[in-house]
């Protein structure tokens, strides 16, 4: 195993591991892993160096994750403070942020989260066509409160564009530490990335491998052959090492865990970075306009 990529410092002064383990994805609803399967994957992940795990209320898996983590902690090799855990929530109009984070903490059997993010800033309209979600300025104020109470170390947002973040920064007492967005070869949001870097917000990339799209591109294959790496490793190296993103690839296959971490023993040339940037086609893997759960609203338009 090569030396792991160094952790990145957030604007709170705390650090975040650059490679995380994503627990989301469509398979968690259609074919969710059992607790024993999760245990084997998480134990192996920790043993080879993973320290960052990403979840969300929407994934409906926090109770299982809590059982797995407590089983691992009870074995004595790892402690809660050894890992960085992110969860995400929706701006429910009838629930406070504190109520939601306390439910997550109860399910995870934790006293605090390392990061808590607003998963989406809206909910689908009801059958009357009414939007009932809590406005962002109210949600953010409540999120600041739970951070001040010590229930979470870092707060942030997800699936937001620049205009939303600009507005948020105009009234936020505590600046977001993290923005989590889809970012991969086919959907490279460089303007958004550069904006966040300018204002001290760390970008985390979900779906970094675009469900496999793009890794078979001849250029990616050629670069992989040059460095003796898998095509997926070239993409992850490009995102994490060249662009400075935190990445949260997901897999339930133990044999794939090491390759997602082995990214620090090669460095792409500037020419290769520019060539990979040129593969962008602004095509989303996950778009709210295709999901009835989001009212088929083109949120990113």
Per-residue pLDDT of the chain (301 residues; tens, 9 = 90+): 567 899 999 999 999 999 999 998 645 556 778 899 899 999 999 999 999 999 999 999 999 999 999 999 999 999 999 999 999 999 999 999 999 999 999 999 999 999 999 999 998 888 899 999 999 999 999 999 999 999 999 999 999 999 999 999 999 999 999 999 999 999 999 999 999 999 999 999 999 999 888 899 999 999 999 999 999 999 999 999 999 999 999 887 788 899 999 999 999 999 999 999 999 999 998 888 887 877 888 888 6
Residue matched to tokens 């390392």: 114
Q: Is residue 298 part of a domain?
A: no
Asked about 59 being catalytic, the answer comes back as yes
Annotation: binding site for substrate = 119
| Domain assignment present for 2 | no
Q: What is the CATH number of the domain that holds 272?
A: 3.20.20.100
CA distances to 51, 163, 174, 287 from 7, rounded to whole Å, are 10, 29, 22, 30
Residue 300 domain flag: no
What is the enclosing helix (H) or strand (E) of 257? helix 257-261
Binding residues, as ranges, are: 119
Whether 3 is covered by a domain: the verdict is no
Catalytic residue among 59, 112, 116, 206: 59
Does residue 127 lie within any of the structural domains?
yes
Assigned domain for 208 exists: yes
Please state, in angstroms and as integers, the Cα–Cα distance from residue 145 to each residue in 84, 148, 271, following that order: 21, 5, 46
- 299 within domain boundaries: no
Cα–Cα distances in Å, from 155 out to 118, 146, 176, 198, 222?
8, 9, 6, 18, 39
Q: Which residue range(s) make up the domain with 80?
A: 8-288
Please state the domain count of the chain. 1
Residue 249 counted as domain residue: yes
């Amino acid at each position: 195993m090569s030396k792991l990529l160094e952790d990145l410092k957030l604007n709170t002064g705390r650090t975040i591991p650059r490679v995380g383990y994503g627990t989301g994805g469509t398979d968690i609803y259609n074919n969710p892993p059992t607790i024993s399967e999760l245990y084997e994957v998480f134990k192996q992940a920790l043993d080879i160096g993973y320290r960052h795990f990403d979840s969300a209320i929407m994934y409906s898996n926090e109770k299982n994750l809590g059982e797995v983590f407590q089983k691992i902690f009870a074995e004595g090799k790892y402690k809660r403070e050894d890992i960085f855990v992110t969860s995400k929530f929706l701006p429910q109009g009838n629930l406070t942020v504190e109520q939601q984070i306390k439910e997550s903490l109860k399910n995870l059997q934790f006293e605090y989260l390392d990061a808590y993010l607003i998963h989406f800033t809206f909910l689908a309209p009801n059958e009357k066509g009414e939007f009932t979600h809590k406005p962002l300025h109210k949600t953010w104020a409540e999120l600041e409160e739970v951070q001040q109470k010590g229930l979470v170390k870092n707060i942030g947002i997800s699936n937001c564009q620049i205009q939303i973040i600009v507005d948020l920064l105009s009234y936020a007492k505590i600046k977001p530490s993290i923005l989590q967005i889809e970012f991969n070869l086919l959907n490279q949001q460089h303007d958004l990335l550069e904006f966040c870097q300018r204002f001290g917000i760390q970008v985390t990339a979900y779906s970094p491998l675009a469900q496999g799209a793009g890794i078979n591109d001849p250029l990616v294959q050629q670069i992989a052959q040059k460095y003796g790496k898998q095509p997926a490793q070239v993409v992850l190296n490009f995102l994490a090492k060249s662009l400075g993103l935190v990445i949260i690839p997901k897999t339930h296959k133990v044999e794939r865990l090491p390759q997602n971490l082995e990214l620090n023993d090669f460095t792409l040339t500037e020419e290769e970075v520019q060539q990979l940037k040129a593969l962008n086609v602004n095509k989303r893997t996950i778009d709210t306009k295709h999901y009835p759960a989001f009212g088929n609203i083109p949120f990113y338009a």
